[in-house]
Amino acid sequence: MTSKPFFASLWEAICCTEISQKLKLISELEIENLEDMESPVECLREPSYAAFCTIVQGSQVPKRKHLDSQKGRIALLHALAHIEYSAIDIALDHAYRFRHMPLAYYRDWVLTAKEEARHFILLQELLGELDSYYGALPVHSGLFMAAYRSQDSLAKRMAALPRYMEANGLDATPQIIAKLEPYQDKFSLKIIQALQIILEDEIIHVQRGDLWFRYALTREGHLLSDYQKLVSQAVPGAKLARKDFNREARLKAGFSIEELQMLASNQ
Q: Which residue from 116, 128, 134 is spatially nearest to 53, judged by alpha carbons?
A: 134
DSSP states along 58-126: GGGSPP---TTSHHHHHHHHHHHHHHHHHHHHHHHHHHHHS-S--HHHHHHHHHHHHHHHHHHHHHHHH
Answer whether residue 65 shows pLDDT above 90: no
pTM of model > 0.85: yes
- What does the mean pLDDT of the chain come to? 94
Identify the band that residue 267 occupies on the pLDDT scale cut at 50, 70 and 90: low
Mean pLDDT score, 65-89: 96
Cα gap 71→115, rounded to integer Å: 27
Answer whether residue 2 shows pLDDT above 60: no
Cα gap 15→118, rounded to integer Å: 19
Mean pLDDT score, 199-215: 98
pLDDT digits (tens, 9 = 90+) for 94-118: 999 999 999 999 999 999 999 999 9
Cα gap 56→133, rounded to integer Å: 18
**Percent of the chain residues past pLDDT 90, beyond the cut:** 86
Residues in the chain: 267
6-265 CATH choice from 1.10.287, 1.20.1260, 1.10.3470, 1.25.40: 1.20.1260
Backbone angles phi and psi of 235, in degrees to 5: -130, 80
